[in-house]
């Protein structure tokens, strides 16, 4: 690997704060668990209804796993920069115009995260007056995912803004290493010349 390629890879490794890597991994595990649990609970709900003995609590489990999976996935997508934003426009720019557009986009995401925190927390507090059936747990347990997701989205967006201002937003993908192809040696003839 050339020295320039090593420097590029080293620079890209420093674009994300290492402390958030563990948080991202935990959120990815939560996303996997909620996706698996959601699929399993829907399947069990269908099966138990088909055999005539429905488990009514499965609908609560399904909705909880769905909501937490969606909001955890949104936070992970923000960290990985996989969310929907104006990538084509921003990537066409270079230098100060790109910096301005990238920061503006992230400020919009930060404003949305602020709304999730503020209004999600208000819904969370109101959720203690409504209850989910058949367990009679407050619906606030479902609404708690909204402000938590907003906090994580805000945290990851601030990380992107700080890293983008320090290192720039234009980071090409590292070049793939192509394996060296070696010629096969032909086996030496056995028993001498014919």
Give per-residue pLDDT as tens, 33-57. Answer: 999 999 999 999 999 999 999 998 9
Tally the domains of the chain.
1
- Give the number of residues written for the chain: 194
User: Has residue 55 been placed in a domain?
Assistant: yes
Does residue 173 fall inside a structural domain? Answer: no
Lowest mean pLDDT among 79-93, 104-118, 130-144, 170-184: 170-184
pLDDT of residue 84: 58
Instruction: Please tell me the distance from the alpha carbon of residue 155 to that of residue 186, in angstroms, as a whole number.
Output: 60
- Is residue 16's pLDDT more than 80? no
φ, ψ of residue 152 in degrees (nearest 5): -70, -40
Higher confidence at residue 97 or residue 171? Answer: 97
The percent of residues above 90 in pLDDT, for the chain, comes to 55
On whether residue 82 sits in a domain, the answer given is yes
pLDDT confidence band for 142 (50 / 70 / 90): very high
191 part of a folded domain: no
Strand partners, 132: 137
Where does the pLDDT of residue 148 fall: very low under 50, low under 70, confident under 90, or very high at 90 and above?
very high
Closest Cα partner for 109 from 157, 152, 70?
A: 157
Q: Is it the case that residue 15 has pLDDT exceeding 60? A: no
Quote the mean pLDDT of the chain.
84
114 and 154 in contact (C-beta within 8 Å)?
Answer: yes
Question: Is 176 inside a domain boundary?
Answer: no
d(CA 24, CA 81): 12
Peptide bond into 9 cis (omega under 30): no
What lies within 8 Å, CB to CB, of 119 at 6+ separation is 146
For 128-153, b/e burial (b = at least 16 CB within 10 A) is eeeebeeeeebbbbbbbbbbbbbbbb
Does pTM top 0.85 for this prediction?
A: no
Q: Give the residue among 149, 69, 72, 68 at the shortest CA–CA distance from 109.
A: 149
Beta pairing, strands 137-138 & 131-132: antiparallel
The b/e string for 93-107 (b: 16+ C-beta within 10 A; e otherwise) is eeeeebbebbbebbe
Residue 51 lies in domain? 20-167
In this structure, the number of other CB atoms found within 10 A of the CB of residue 192 comes to: 5
93 domain residue, yes or no: yes
Q: Does residue 105 fall inside a structural domain?
A: yes
What is the three-class DSSP state of 75? helix
Residue 192 lies in a domain: no
Q: What is the arithmetic mean of pLDDT over 132-157?
A: 94
- 9, 156 Cβ separation under 8 angstroms: no
């Amino acid at each position: 690997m050339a020295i320039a390629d090593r420097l590029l890879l080293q620079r890209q490794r420093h674009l994300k704060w290492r402390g958030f890597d563990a948080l991202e991994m935990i959120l990815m595990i939560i996303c996997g668990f909620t996706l698996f649990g959601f699929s399993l609970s829907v399947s069990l709900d269908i099966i138990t209804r088909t055999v005539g003995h429905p488990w009514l609590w499965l609908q609560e489990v399904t909705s909880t796993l769905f909501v937490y999976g969606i909001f955890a996935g949104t936070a992970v997508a923000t960290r990985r920069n996989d969310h929907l934003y104006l990538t084509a426009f921003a990537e066409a720019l270079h230098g100060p115009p790109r910096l301005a557009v990238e920061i503006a986009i992230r400020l919009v995401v930060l404003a949305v995260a602020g709304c999730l925190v503020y209004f999600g927390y208000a819904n969370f507090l109101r959720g203690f007056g409504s209850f989910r059936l058949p367990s009679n747990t407050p619906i606030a347990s479902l609404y708690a995912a909204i402000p938590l997701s907003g906090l994580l989205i805000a945290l990851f967006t601030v990380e992107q803004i700080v890293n983008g201002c320090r290192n720039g937003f234009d980071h090409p993908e590292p070049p793939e290493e192509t394996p060296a192809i070696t010629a096969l040696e032909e086996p030496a003839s056995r028993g001498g010349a014919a």
